[in-house]
């Protein structure tokens, strides 16, 4: 399954978030996604799998650690975005 090519990292993350949310809304264990959407979500998760758990947490905003009040959260997110941008470009998923 070849994922679509996204014009921006934000578009990729927004689509991933929408598909993830739809998958979680499944009723009675059944997915709310079509087979194509499930395959697409799996391909997106595989690309995100190249990131460290900390980078993934920085992108999704989910963390179990207390967060400092300084700008380190923004720096972590920027580093995670840079890593993901490189990974998506290498896979041909991100334009330019």
Q: What is the pLDDT along the chain (96 residues), one digit of tens a residue?
A: 677 999 999 999 999 999 999 998 866 656 689 999 999 999 999 999 999 999 999 988 755 555 565 678 889 999 999 999 999 999 999 996
pLDDT tens figures, 15-35: 999 999 999 886 665 668 999
Q: Where are the domains of the chain?
A: 9-90
Q: Phi, psi (5° rounding) for residue 50?
A: -75, -15
> What is the reported pTM?
0.81
DSSP tag of 92: T
Long-range CB contacts for residues 73-81, cutoff 8 Å, separation at least 24: 79/55, 80/51, 80/54, 80/55, 80/56, 81/9
CB 80, CB 55: distance < 8 Å: yes
């Amino acid at each position: 399954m070849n994922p679509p090519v996204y014009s921006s990292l934000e578009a990729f993350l927004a689509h991933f978030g929408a598909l993830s949310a739809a998958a979680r809304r499944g009723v009675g264990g059944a997915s709310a996604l079509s087979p194509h959407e499930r395959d697409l979500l799996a391909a997106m998760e595989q690309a995100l799998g190249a990131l460290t758990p900390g980078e993934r947490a920085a992108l999704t905003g989910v963390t179990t650690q207390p967060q400092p009040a300084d700008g380190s959260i923004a720096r972590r997110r920027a580093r995670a975005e840079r890593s993901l941008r490189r990974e998506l470009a290498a896979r041909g998923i991100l334009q330019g």
